[in-house]
Chains A and B, each alone.
Chain A
Amino acid sequence: MWPLLGIAVVVLGFALRANPLLVIAVAVGVTGTAAGLSPVAMIEAFGKAFNDARLVSLAFLTLPVIGLLERYGLQERARMLIARFRRATAGRLLLLYFLLRQVTAATGISFGGQAQMVRPLLAPMVEGAAEAQVGELGAAQRFWLRAHAAAAENIGVFFGEDIFVAIGSVLLIKGTLEGFHIFVEPFALSVWAIPTAVLAALIHGTRLLLIDRRLRKP
């Protein structure tokens, strides 16, 4: 059971908000010691594992293209597209953003972000739409709508991005399975993210549409 100490290090280290890279290095040291490895053998094992896992970092190969497009206004263009829907209701606006976020994450386009889109654009638009629907908002309603704007971003990305092949999580699965001699194409993994993406759209989409009804209740 001693190798489990490594997991305890990870849980504890992350709970204490220590730098994750240091937590990982300590966890490797503890696990290796518990398994009876010498320091040299431990460094060799970590080096081999790190080298074999390089494909996980290929997710960042796309950054020069995305960065270049941002230089020419990709994010601004996305904002203009969203701003066209000023007249929608709060729930429909959130739904539209959520679905757009799922689709753009699934195709690897850099589109949203809590700091880039939610705070400056989506949250104010949703609040504005709700005011047009029911008049002055209470503080609790306002915060509730803002929280939903942030949630739409997170849920949209989480259950869209795994359909894109060059995303960290898909490559991490590929790398981990290769460690167990199971070889898999990223596309074979990403198709299995589609059923959950559809369910997420249905489940969260329904919740977002119910927001308009709840707003009308006093």
Chain B
Amino acid sequence: MITLEHIYILSGALIAAYAVLSLREGLFGNAAFWGLLAASFLLGSHLGNFANGLIAIALVVVGGFGLMRKGAPRTTSPEERRASAESHGSWLFAPALILPLTALIGTAFFKHSGLADPKQATLVFLGLGVLLALALCYAWLRPPVLAPLEEGRRLVDTIGWPVVLPQMLAALGAVFALAGVGDAVGKLASDYLPLGTPTAAVICYCVGMAAFTAAMGNAFAAFPVMTAGVGLPLIVHRYGGDPIAMSAIGMLAGFCGTLMTPMAANFNLVPAALLELPDRNGVIKAQLPTALILLVANTVLMAVLVYRH
């Protein structure tokens, strides 16, 4: 049976390859970063908590102090890409579609086939989808053997250290939970806000997600705090709401906050600069009406859907 652990090993092997290829190019910071991350994926389940903590801190040091540079993996030229796009046509989208389709079909029909761990079926089938898509691309496009690894490295290098940001923020959320941050936020909220009804709790959670996200510029950072503080204790435990619908819609309420804030520089300020707008908040102004209406819509949706039983 294929478990999540096997997918971690697949992922760790890919990241280890990025490390080796970076080293070959003389990018020692990148090699250290990808090497550490590969170690976490390959060995994390066997190392103790302390060793894993040291890996996480080392990643913070390498990524946080700007020791990484963008590599220059060998790839195709813009002309070659245009010619290839002409000759291959829209079939180029097909291998990309294999990934979600494999995950979907695998989870829907083969969850209990014994092939994959039923508890983590989607991620296991997604990993198999990656291998399937790569096999197909090798057969169809006949790329150089190392091309998928080099192209993968090209993309992770354009992202850089923010690759681990979602995982780090999730870890921070868990540490917050352990230290009782959620309880403190929940206590503050219930002391100062009228949260006496199920609907009021939903309003507090959705608006809180948007406001917290706007303050931090990042829904990923807001989600663990609001969920531990207001979502789980009030909506789920006190009023019996569905944690799954709550979390999914709550994250989207947070995205409404992202659309409204200059703190989310990547999404809002960088495009304004790219498009040479004189007003750096021009993109935010174009987004604001939609963001506000959608925040109300998400709040209503959650109030209706989360207590549907």
Contact = CB atoms under 8 A, between A and B. Distances in A.
B30 interface: no
Contact of B97 (A42, A53, A107): A107
A77 B88 CA distance: 9
B166 A72 contact: no
A58 B275 contact: no
Interface in B194-224: 215-221, 223-224
B307 interface: no
A189 B172 contact: no
B156 A60 contact: yes
Contacts of A171: 166
Size range of the chain A interface in the assembly: 35 or more
B211 to A, nearest CB: 11
A166 interface: yes
Interface in B64-94: 64-66, 75-76, 78, 80-86, 88-90, 92-93
B1 to A, nearest CB: 17
Main secondary structure of the interface of A (DSSP, over half): helix
A172 B7 contact: no
A57 B18 CA distance: 15
Contacts of B63: 19, 21
Interface string A90-109: 00000000000000000111
A165 B80 CA distance: 32
A75 B244 contact: no
Contact of B179 (A35, A58, A115, A165): A35
A162 to B, nearest CB: 6
Interface string B91-134: 01101110110011001000000000001111100110010011
Contact of A19 (B64, B171, B287): B64
B20 interface: no
B173 to A, nearest CB: 6
A196 B243 contact: no
B248 A50 contact: no
B177 A53 contact: no
Contacts of A187: 103-104, 107, 122
Contacts of A63: 151-152, 155-156
Contact of B301 (A17, A56, A195): A195
A109 B95 CA distance: 10
Contact of A70 (B37, B151, B221, B293): B151
Contacts, number: 434
A130 interface: no
A165 B170 contact: no
A45 B167 contact: no
Given A66-B96, A68-B151, A24 B7 contact: no
B277 A72 contact: no
B17 to A, nearest CB: 9
Contacts of B218: 14, 20
A107 B156 CA distance: 20
A196 B252 contact: yes
Contacts of A189: 244, 247-248
B2 interface: no
Contacts of B27: none
B143 A45 contact: no
B173 A62 contact: no
A64 B97 CA distance: 14
Interface string A202-217: 0110010000000000
Given A114-B274, A147-B277, A184-B244, 9 more contacts: A1-B188, A43-B50, A46-B56, A58-B11, A62-B99, A77-B92, A150-B272, A182-B244, A188-B244
Interface of B: 4, 7-8, 10-11, 14, 37, 40-41, 44-45, 47-57, 59-60, 63-66, 75-76, 78, 80-86, 88-90, 92-93, 95-97, 99-100, 103-104, 107, 119-123, 126-127, 130, 133-134, 137, 141, 143, 147-156, 159, 161-181, 184-185, 188, 215-221, 223-225, 227-228, 232, 243-245, 247-249, 251-252, 255, 258-259, 263, 265, 267-268, 270-272, 274-279, 282-283, 285-287, 289-290, 293-294, 297-298, 301, 305
Interface of A: 1, 3-4, 6-7, 10-11, 14-15, 17, 19-22, 24-25, 27-28, 31-32, 34-35, 37, 40, 42-77, 80-81, 107-110, 114-115, 118-119, 123, 143-144, 146-151, 153-155, 158-159, 162, 164-166, 168-173, 175-177, 179-180, 182-190, 192-193, 195-196, 199-200, 203-204, 207
17 contacts: A3-B176, A6-B172, A19-B64, A19-B66, A44-B53, A47-B53, A50-B56, A53-B171, A67-B152, A67-B154, A68-B143, A148-B286, A151-B290, A153-B271, A159-B255, A180-B228, A193-B249
